[in-house]
Amino acid sequence: MNMPKMPLPALDDRMKTATILALFFVGLFAIQGVFMPYWPVWLKAQGLSAGEIGILLSLPNWVRVFADPLIAQRADHTGNRKTPMLWLAGIYVVTVLAFPVSSNFWWLAALSMVIGFTYAPLLPLGTTITVHECKTRDLDYGRVRLWGSLAFIVASYGVGWILDGTSTTWIVWMLFAAGVINFAIVTRMPDPQTERSLRSGSSLIYLLRKPVFLIYLGCIGFAQGAHGTYYSFASVHWESVGYSHEMIGAFWSTGVMAEVALFAFAGKFVRGRHPGILFAIGAIAGILRWIVLGSSDDVWLIMLVQPLHALTFGITHLAAVSFIARAIPQQLATSAQSLMATLSMGVFLGSSIWASGPLYQHFGSHAYYAMAGSSAIALVFSLWLMRSWRGEDKTFCD
């Protein structure tokens, strides 16, 4: 007996959708692959102090505290996510071109705020579209998302290799090129018009009144905040102890390669686990990772703990997305994604990056010990979530 086959047009349509969603993450994380490891290096080359670098790196995170919720709530009320993405991606490209104009701190601060307003909301908007399309077309979110991590690896390692043969002035132009590619990809994104919000009032306030959602935000917030010193001063510190830009790129790439492997193969494991368990795994890995990085600059120890990025970031991210997919109705999904991104990558990570400036200035790599403390708090919240939420689907439907 011949088994029924899916019609070829349907297969082609799924493949096209999966490809463009994967390319969205490629464009977005190619920018991060340049920005995270090397933007602090560019700022240092402009003559800025560690404290000033910490402020400038934290500003985009603080701006998203206001930008993400406003844009997300509007998107949920209209059911349209793609149009604001096009505007934001375009403005980002123009803003990057203005950075070489002056090395004045206040000029760089103003541009950093614009970057926070334009780049940061792209992730929750695009993630909402991706989760919607993955559900509708039976696609594996992790296997779509992993292409962003691969792009981060190629960008971070490739830029390090280029910089060893050129100068830090190229960092801005590589950010610009990545931004142009990102804008081109956004123009091809799916444009699902979902139903308008279930509620006439603020969906953000509605979610923030839910105790379980606040516990969830504590899990993701302290877990992501624990990366503050790593994101802001890892490259600066490794450069100061004598590692080449190419080796620094290899350190970053090693962590993200482990993250790619997790996204590729962890789908079934994640679907069968309570998000609180996943958060706990990531938090325990964070305590170990940050203590080691705070204690040693040995190349082999660094390479040994860098794969823990798959747990400190990767499994934490999958836990966060899984909770929203299971607990939040689609009409509130962008608001939930935005609050998650705003508080975790804005308030928590922004505060952590800002604090890392004076901490690194006074304690050097021992600043990582404070990040281990943040991971420990995330572990407490993850255990609290396991006790408070039993895994009910669409918990916040009235």
* 3 domain residue, yes or no: no
Residues of the chain by 3-state class (helix, strand, coil), percent to 5: 80, 0, 20
Q: Which residues does 352 contact at the CB level (< 8 Å), separation at least 6?
A: 225, 226, 227, 228, 229, 371, 374
Q: Which residues does 319 contact at the CB level (< 8 Å), separation at least 6?
A: 219, 220, 270, 275, 276, 278, 279, 282
* 393 domain residue, yes or no: no
Q: Which residues does 298 contact at the CB level (< 8 Å), separation at least 6?
A: none
Q: Amino acid identity, residue 364?
A: G
The pLDDT assigned to 1 comes to 44
Token reading at 371: 């990040």
User: CATH number, domain at 76?
Assistant: 1.20.1250.20
Tens-digit pLDDT profile for residues 303-358: 999 999 999 999 999 999 889 888 888 777 778 887 888 788 778 988 898 899 89
DSSP letter for 200, please: S
* 336 domain residue, yes or no: yes
For every residue of 269-312, DSSP letters joined together read: HHHTS-HHHHHHHHHHHHHHHHHHHHH---HHHHHHHGGGHIII
pTM: 0.74
Q: The domain containing residue 285 runs over which residues?
A: 14-388
Q: Helices 333-341 and 122-137: crossing angle, nearest 10°?
A: 140
* 116 domain residue, yes or no: yes
Q: Taking 80 as the threshold, does the pLDDT of residue 94 lie above it? A: yes
Q: How many domains does the chain have?
A: 1
The pLDDT assigned to 304 comes to 95
Tens-digit pLDDT profile for residues 198-226: 444 567 788 888 899 999 999 999 999 99
Is residue 9 very low, low, confident or very high in pLDDT (cuts 50, 70, 90)? very low
Is residue 238 very low, low, confident or very high in pLDDT (cuts 50, 70, 90)? very high
165 or 260, greater pLDDT: 260
200 or 375, greater pLDDT: 375
Segment 225-229 mean pLDDT: 94
The pLDDT assigned to 375 comes to 97
Q: Is the dihedral of CA 206, 212, 215, 221 positive or negative?
A: negative
Taking every pair of Cα atoms in the chain, the longest distance, rounded to a whole number of angstroms, is 74
Is residue 278 very low, low, confident or very high in pLDDT (cuts 50, 70, 90)? very high
* 41 domain residue, yes or no: yes
* 90 domain residue, yes or no: yes
2 or 364, greater pLDDT: 364
- 90-94, 131-135, 144-148, 228-232: range with lowest mean pLDDT: 131-135
Segment 47-62 mean pLDDT: 86
Q: Taking 70 as the threshold, does the pLDDT of residue 194 lie above it? A: no
* 356 domain residue, yes or no: yes
* 374 domain residue, yes or no: yes
